[in-house]
């Protein structure tokens, strides 16, 4: 048996985090279940309306499921209210970025500024040795250097290491991912074996606070209307094609819903928050050689001259490229960025780019702007 530890488990009410708690309890650990109350649907949205669609996590039903699983496992269970922090660090960030014509990733913000920050703090206060979550990712330690390494989950279809690029060595030393070596089907089988109420619960596919996946409507409801930037739609050649009523309705690479009639496919190629112009063009206009990072972070020290594999969004395939200094000031890298070996399509400001070497996540950051070699 592994050494018995006191572990705080983040329980969202979904099958993954529930199985993580059950497995750790089965292994003999002292487990405490915690659900973070992040968003009050009855207060913020029309969730009482049967037509409102929320395929999300963190709802009241999810809290109830997490509590029932904890009772089944006979472990202590707490609901912690972090709604104010979620509003500031996730919802406000999400709204602000879209109003700037950028495309944010709220799941990364939630993991970075809420889940691990607050849960690790709470774990320390409760005398816990570690925090566990249901993420599909792995952690290993290099015994020669002592450095921790963040690795992809074994299930390539469920791997969530992308969302965890901002973890530090200190945090990795206190985190456990019980599902990292499993596939989703194996997790489902464990849930059935443990008799968990959510064993067959469907996946959460949408952003947890956006009803019906309607980003624009949400932003218009929650934003200061004076912050909405309206303007023109122009071709990459500068031709005026039309007007729009808010850059928050567009993202780089978008094809549908542009509002321009054309006999050929048109894509949003770039968005100017300064002028309010949304530029459109052919697919070729989406291709870029690289980008500049904002808030670049490395999980551990690496050789920066090597070539890496880079994902420019969660669903993209990794592409080879090199880390470069766009400011030209050598190793200090005040403005680090990536130049790809081959042109990449739809590099989107506001999204997260993550560096990999094989299965290892090395770090990453926000895409500030696209760049040419």
Q: Could you list the pLDDT tens digit for every one of the 373 residues in the chain?
A: 468 999 999 999 999 999 999 999 999 999 999 999 988 765 555 433 434 444 445 567 889 999 999 999 999 999 999 999 999 999 999 999 999 999 999 988 888 878 888 899 999 999 999 999 999 999 999 988 999 999 999 999 999 999 999 999 999 999 999 999 999 999 999 999 999 999 988 877 677 888 778 889 999 998 888 999 999 999 999 999 999 999 999 999 999 999 998 889 999 999 999 999 999 999 999 999 999 999 999 999 888 778 999 999 998 999 999 998 876 544 444 579 999 999 999 999 999 999 999 999 999 999 999 986 5
- The full DSSP string for 140-151 is EE-TTT--EEEE
Q: Please report the pLDDT score of residue 366 as a whole number.
A: 95
Name the region of 253 (left: φ>0; alpha: ψ -120 to 50; beta: rest).
left
**Is the distance from CB of 341 to CB of 319 less than 8 angstroms?**
yes
Going along the chain from its start, the domains and CATH numbers come out as: 6-212 (3.40.50.620), 229-281 (2.30.30.280), 286-371 (2.40.30.10)
CA distances from 300 to 146, 171, 202, 307 (A): 11, 12, 36, 16
Q: Which token pair is 42?
A: 């009855």
In angstroms, rounded to a whole number, what is the distance separating the alpha carbons of residues 338 and 353?
9
Residues 6 or more apart in contact with residue 117 via CB below 8 angstroms: none
Q: How many helices (H) and strands (E) in the chain?
A: 10, 17
Catalytic residues: 110, 208
């Amino acid at each position: 048996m592994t050494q018995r530890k006191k572990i705080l488990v983040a329980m969202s009410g979904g099958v993954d985090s529930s199985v993580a708690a059950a497995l750790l309890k089965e292994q003999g650990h002292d487990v405490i279940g915690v659900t973070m109350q992040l968003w009050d649907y009855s207060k913020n949205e029309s969730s009482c309306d049967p037509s409102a669609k929320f395929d999300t996590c963190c709802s009241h039903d999810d809290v109830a499921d997490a509590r029932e699983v904890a009772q089944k496992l006979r472990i202590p269970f707490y609901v912690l209210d972090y709604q104010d922090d979620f509003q500031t660090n996730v919802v406000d960030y999400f709204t602000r970025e879209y109003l700037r014509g950028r495309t944010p990733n709220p799941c990364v913000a939630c993991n970075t500024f809420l889940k691990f920050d607050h849960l690790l703090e709470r774990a320390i206060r409760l005398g816990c040795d570690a925090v566990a979550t249901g993420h599909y990712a792995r952690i290993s330690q290099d015994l020669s250097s002592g450095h921790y390494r963040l690795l992809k989950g074994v299930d390539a279809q469920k791997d969530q290491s992308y969302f965890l690029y901002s973890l530090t060595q200190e945090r990795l030393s206190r985190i456990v991912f019980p599902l990292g070596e499993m596939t989703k089907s194996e997790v489902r089988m464990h849930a059935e074996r443990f008799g968990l109420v959510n064993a067959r619960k469907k996946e959460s596919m949408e952003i947890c606070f956006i009803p019906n996946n309607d980003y624009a409507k949400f932003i218009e409801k929650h934003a200061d209307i004076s912050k909405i930037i309206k303007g023109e739609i122009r071709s990459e050649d500068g031709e005026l094609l039309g007007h729009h009523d808010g850059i928050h309705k567009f993202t780089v690479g978008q094809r549908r819903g542009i509002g321009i009639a054309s006999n050929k496919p048109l894509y949003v190629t770039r968005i100017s928050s300064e002028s309010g112009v949304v530029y459109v063009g052919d697919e070729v206009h989406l291709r870029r050689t690289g980008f500049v990072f904002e808030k670049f972070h490395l999980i551990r020290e690496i050789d920066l001259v090597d070539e890496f594999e880079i994902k420019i969004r969660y669903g993209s395939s990794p592409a080879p490229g090199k880390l470069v200094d766009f400011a030209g000031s050598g190793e200090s890298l005040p403005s680090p960025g990536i130049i790809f070996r081959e042109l990449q399509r739809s590099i989107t400001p506001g999204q997260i780019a993550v560096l990999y070497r094989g299965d290892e996540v090395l770090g990453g950051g926000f895409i500030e702007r696209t760049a040419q070699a």
